[in-house]
A and B are shown apart, each in its own frame.
Chain A
Amino acid sequence: SYELAQPPSVSVSPGQTARITCSGDALAKQYAYWYQQKPGQAPSLLIYKDSERPSGIPERFSGSSSGTTVTLTISGVQAEDEADYYCQSVDISGRVFGGGTKLTVL
């Protein structure tokens, strides 16, 4: 199976824009998904099919894709956005997660 690479951490001040990348060869052919996990909680779906938002997800969360890299963008970051973010995709052998990125709101 292939791997998805994410930066371990990203820091941003409130109100600024955070960008979290996820890279992997298969992303050129497969959709990416993003999950948010707050401390002590189960993960929850944030973005599906590269850029679609499930109902109830604020518009400040967006996703984009370019080649083998997908990006989660959080505009106007709020303190409550401090969490771990995981990208995920599929390959012939199943599902794979990126290593996760801890977003710190300064």
Chain B
Amino acid sequence: AQSVTQLDSQVPVFEEAPVELRCNYSSSVSVYLFWYVQYPNQGLQLLLKYLSGSTLVESINGFEAEFNKSQTSFHLRKPSVHISDTAEYFCAVSDRGGSYIPTFGRGTSLIVHP
């Protein structure tokens, strides 16, 4: 069994400030890791994923996340946020052993103030 903990339910920041959304997971096997973003009244969209290779993964809109196996973390960062980044962010993990059912965190609401 696996679990995902998103340590902050809400993160308020000012525009152009850096932000980090924290995600920790537990699993008895190797994992795939994902960050999804949900804008108001929409479904979830994949932001970035770690499947293998480099532990630092980047999205096209400036977010990045680093897989840290020793700390079982996959924190999401952006050096300078925009108003348009205001959304709900979900971390998810699935095991490499064949199960295709991811476990989601409860979400972090990123609120960017002007």
**A interacts with B:** no
Binding site for B on A (CB under 8 A): none
Query: B residues within 8 Å of A by Cβ?
Result: none
